[in-house]
Structure 1
Amino acid sequence: MDIVIRPVTPGEYADLGEITAQAYLQDGLLDFGESDAYLGELRDVAKRAAAAEVLVAVEHGTLLGGVTFVPGPGPMADMARPDEAEIRMLAVASAGRGRGAGEALVRACVDRARAIEGCARVVLSTQRTMRAAHRVYERLGFTRAPERDWNPLPELDDIMLLTYELTL
């Protein structure tokens, strides 16, 4: 495998933002398509990089995808508790799927979490329809934590994010 995982550079912010936005749009993960407010968050890599660690998967100079690693509670955390790290906004370009980029990004996040003193687990939220991602998480030892499932938009009853966790 020639995929390298490393921190994003400022020159890659726009490209990674677009890869992330397109991955969510193409997979039907945004309720309102291009008008979805979350789309702006997905594209704003600079904001994420200022508050967390954004990693990219690169193969032969081509950006395949990225992920946001949140080392604990803070502005980029949705659900991390004080002894947890969180994985957010994992996205792989359609041309890079099925080649191990997503799994390599998740593994890199787990390795970073293991290096944090006192970090007991890694958590993440995912949508029900993200079945390929669920298989990656489960293959890496993550288990469902249904008691932590949550709704980011309480005004819309049908949106429920599933929670997975990995005890370190």
Structure 2
Amino acid sequence: MDILIRPADPTEYEELGEITAQAYLQDGLLTFGESDWYLGELRDVAKRASTSEVLVATQGDELLGGVTYVPSPGPMTDLARTGEAEIRMLAVGRAARGRGAGEALVRACIDRARNAERTGIVLSTQPSMHSAHRIYERLGFRRAPERDWHPIPEDPDFTLLTYELTL
């Protein structure tokens, strides 16, 4: 059965928020675990959907994961410059990994950016997210170390890596 990528339905926000939060927690990507402030952001799909496009990957009736596509600089932007789109909070549930959902979600974001005539697409990732890095590189993204950044001022050792794709 094929993977379908489509906009998230509001009835799926809670489930997608939990898939996203658990993906980050189970992979050890939150500095402070269950008490991490970012956990609330990961769970708040409605907030993301109010200013960006939240896409989901489904297979049959199963919700596999999702991503936030930010079409242009705005409230959900971390890195995008004028003319660029941004990808945020890509997550696939553990049980659904290895089926191609992550790559399909990234491809959908690239297609949206091309159709919107964006000049490029950018994203942040943690150094330990090796599987995600392989997806990005396979799809033509390149590391942009000059755009790496430190999102937590109290923790200058926590660095997010930047990848960009010129369209």
- Asked if TM exceeds 0.5, the reply is yes
Displacement, 1:111?
0.1
Displacement, 1:144?
0.1
Aligned match of 2:46: 46
CA distance in 2, matches of 1:141, 1:82: 21
User: 5+ unaligned residues in a row in structure 2: which ranges?
Assistant: none
Regions of 4+ moved over 4 Å: none
Aligned match of 1:163: 162
Q: How many equivalent residue pairs?
A: 167
TM-score by length of 2: 0.99
Aligned match of 1:131: 130
Aligned match of 2:149: 150
After superposition, the C-alpha distances for 1:103-145 in whole angstroms (9 at most, x for unaligned) are 000000000000113x110000000000000000000000000
Displacement, 1:154?
1.9
User: 5+ unaligned residues in a row in structure 1: which ranges?
Assistant: none
1:14 to 2:53 alignment: no
Aligned match of 2:98: 98
Aligned match of 1:81: 81
Displacement, 1:158?
1.5
After superposition, the C-alpha distances for 1:51-102 in whole angstroms (9 at most, x for unaligned) are 1000000001100000000001100111110110000000000011011000
- What is the percentage of aligned positions where both structures have the same residue? 74
Displacement, 1:42?
0.2
CA distance in 1, matches of 2:99, 2:137: 17
Displacement, 1:32?
0.4
SS at match of 1:77: coil
Q: Which amino acid aligns with 2:113?
A: A
CA RMSD across the alignment: 0.6
Aligned match of 1:69: 69
Displacement, 1:157?
1.8
Displacement, 1:37?
0.3
Displacement, 1:155?
1.5
SS at match of 2:88: strand
Aligned match of 1:122: 121
Q: Which amino acid aligns with 1:101?
A: A
